[in-house]
Amino acid sequence: MKFEVTAGIRDRGGKGVARQLRRNGKIPAVLYGQGECLLLTMSPDSLVKIVKSHAATTALISVTLDGGVSGAKTRTALLRDFQVDPVSGEVLHADLFEVSMDKAIRIKVPVSLIGGTPAGLKEGGVLHHNLRELHVECLPSQIPDAIQVDASGLNIGQGIHVKELQAIEGVRFLDDPDQMVVSVAVPISEAKLEALLTTGPPAEPGKEPEVIAKGKEAAAAKEGAAPAAGEKAGAAAAPAAGAEKKEASKAEKKEAKK
């Protein structure tokens, strides 16, 4: 998909300038790439049309520069980023990235599922759309609007990997070939789901649960404290027994004298 827009050149940046442009019905933008950075002003209508399109981040934008600028008056770019007012939904700012039509670029392309409802879903399976974007490398003129994946024939337990995608002329997939793009998983029962939610993480092999370990430590501490207490009681009782023996010995001597 391709769009055509006209942009003016501005010589100043900053929040004050941006607010003034918006009051005048324009949107501030920046064109990066090819060794320069140009400050632009654009019509909000042209940007809104691009942003709301299904291929906003992959569409080529032909930018005609209106004003004093050296070099080509028309540049080809991609919409790299944009800011939207969270309340009004109006586009506030846009970043464009200039590209060369004869140099390959790397870009993210959205994945579009086609072919209708997968067969596995009709049997109760759960659809997992694992990759919603794919990294690709190609010339700007060969950027696809979306990578179409036919998942209609998938049964429960089946999926489509990156390496199984249909080849696109001039486009090279950069993601891991073994990565899953879309799959249909086995449905999980309510009992199993509840068990997974209520069961804590498994303990490490050979390691007792923390609660049991703490209980054993407490028991060992009590056992170690008992003999110590007995020893102290015995030590305290020994002098008392000695004193009783001395008193008895004195009494016996008195009786003998009498």
Residue-level pLDDT at 242: 52
52, 73, 98 — which closes off a domain? 98
User: Is there a domain that residue 232 lies in?
Assistant: no
C-alpha closest to that of 187 among 155, 160, 161: 155
User: Is there a domain that residue 192 lies in?
Assistant: yes
Residue-level pLDDT at 218: 56
Cα angle, residue 60 at apex, residues 59 and 61 outer, rounded to 5°: 115
User: Is there a domain that residue 141 lies in?
Assistant: yes
User: Is there a domain that residue 187 lies in?
Assistant: yes
User: Is there a domain that residue 243 lies in?
Assistant: no
41 and 120 fall within a common domain? no
Residue-level pLDDT at 210: 54
Q: Name the residue type at position 6.
A: T
Cα–Cα distance for residue pair 2/40, rounded to 1 Å:
20
> Which range (96-110, 184-198, 236-250) has the least confidence?
236-250
7 and 93 fall within a common domain? yes
Percent of the chain with pLDDT over 70: 73
User: Is the overall model pTM greater than 0.75, yes or no?
Assistant: no
User: Is there a domain that residue 251 lies in?
Assistant: no
Identify whether the C-beta of residue 84 lies closer than 8 Å to the C-beta of residue 90: yes
Identify whether the C-beta of residue 107 lies closer than 8 Å to the C-beta of residue 136: yes
Structure confidence by residue, pLDDT tens digits, 29-86 = 999 987 788 899 988 888 888 888 877 788 899 999 886 555 568 899 999 888 888 8
Cα–Cα distance for residue pair 132/224, rounded to 1 Å:
63
26 and 43 fall within a common domain? yes
Number of domains the chain contains: 2
150 and 114 fall within a common domain? yes
174, 198, 222 — which closes off a domain? 198
43, 71, 98 — which closes off a domain? 98
Task: List, in sequence order, the alpha helices (H) in the chain.
Answer: 15-23, 44-51, 119-122, 190-198, 210-257
122 and 175 fall within a common domain? yes
Q: Residue 74 sits in a domain of what CATH number? A: 2.40.240.10
Structure confidence by residue, pLDDT tens digits, 212-228 = 555 555 555 555 554 44
Work out whether strand 147-150 and strand 105-114 pair parallel, antiparallel, or are unpaired.
parallel
Residue-level pLDDT at 176: 96
Q: Which residues contact 255 (CB under 8 A, 6 or more apart)?
A: none
Residue-level pLDDT at 85: 86
6 and 84 fall within a common domain? yes
Which band of pLDDT confidence, cut at 50, 70 and 90, is reported for residue 237?
very low
Residue-level pLDDT at 233: 45
Cα–Cα distance for residue pair 71/73, rounded to 1 Å:
6
62 and 114 fall within a common domain? no
Q: Which helix (H) or strand (E) holds 32?
A: strand 27-33
CB atoms within 10 A of CB 229: 9
Could you give the C-alpha distances from 234 to 6, 222, 223, 239, 246, in angstroms and in order? 102, 19, 17, 9, 19
Residue-level pLDDT at 222: 57
Structure confidence by residue, pLDDT tens digits, 161-212 = 999 999 999 999 999 999 999 999 988 767 766 776 787 666 565 555 555 5
Over residues 120-133, mean pLDDT: 91
